[in-house]
């Protein structure tokens, strides 16, 4: 038996010396560009407070529950630029969030009209559920549920057309605070 084990040792060395399989297929492909939101607006959940425009680049989405249900969602307005004809677009979140040390899940909805923080507007104009993100403490969110919209790569809209989106914290007690700026936060990526 010892003889058989000694005879197999050189073969084990060959297996260990084999080149490692490249993991590049696991790394998300980089986009050619991004579309930053033209507006980020706060919206209260289950309260009658007017929407507010975020005065700086820090966005805070939160939810407490189950009853009384309180929280704030974020409404985004995007405008497609020239030059995306024939390109593919999708929604992305990348960042360093400071609220939940274990990460958080966020539901993503379309909105039926442009969000507003003027004139006492309280509307979020929620449309279709596009899916749910798992947002880690740092890095890129992953879609754990997808129902359509920009949760998948889809042909980009024409120049001047819009996307209106609402992000809502999922669960009974969750919070997401992050910076919205070039290269981070919520953006539409394209290739």
Cα–chain-centroid distance for residue 12? 44
Q: Where are the domains of the chain?
A: 32-190
**Contact by Cβ (8 Å): 97, 176:** yes
- The pTM for the full model equals 0.78
Half-sphere exposure of 125 (CA within 13 A, CB side): 17
Per-residue pLDDT of the chain (191 residues; tens, 9 = 90+): 444 444 433 444 433 333 332 322 223 446 899 999 998 988 887 767 888 787 767 888 877 766 666 888 899 999 999 999 999 999 999 887 666 677 889 999 999 999 888 888 888 889 999 999 998 888 889 999 999 999 999 999 999 999 999 999 887 778 888 888 888 899 999 99
CA distances (Å), origin 168, targets 52, 60, 106: 16, 10, 6
Contacts of 26 (CB under 8 A, 6+ apart): none
Sign (positive/negative) of CA torsion 22, 23, 25, 30? negative
Report the greatest alpha carbon distance in the chain. Answer: 86
For domain 32-190, the question of CATH label 2.30.29 is answered with no
């Amino acid at each position: 038996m010892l003889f058989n084990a000694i005879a197999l040792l050189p073969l084990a060395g060959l297996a260990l010396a084999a080149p490692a399989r490249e993991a590049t297929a696991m790394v998300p492909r980089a986009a050619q560009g991004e579309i930053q939101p033209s507006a980020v607006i706060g919206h209260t959940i289950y309260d009658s407070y007017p929407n507010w425009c975020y005065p700086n680049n820090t966005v805070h989405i939160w939810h407490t529950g189950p009853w009384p249900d309180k929280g704030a969602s974020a409404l985004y307005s995007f405008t497609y630029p020239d030059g995306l004809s024939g390109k593919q677009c999708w929604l992305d979140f990348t960042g360093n969030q400071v609220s939940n040390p274990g990460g958080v899940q966020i539901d993503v909805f379309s909105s039926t009209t442009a969000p507003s923080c003027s004139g006492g507007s309280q509307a979020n104009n929620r449309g279709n559920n596009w899916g749910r993100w798992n947002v880690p403490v740092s890095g890129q969110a992953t879609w754990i549920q997808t129902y359509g919209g920009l949760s998948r790569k889809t042909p980009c809209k024409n120049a001047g057309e819009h996307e209106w989106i609402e992000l809502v914290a999922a669960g009974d007690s969750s919070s997401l605070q992050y910076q919205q700026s070039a290269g981070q936060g919520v953006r539409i990526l394209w290739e």
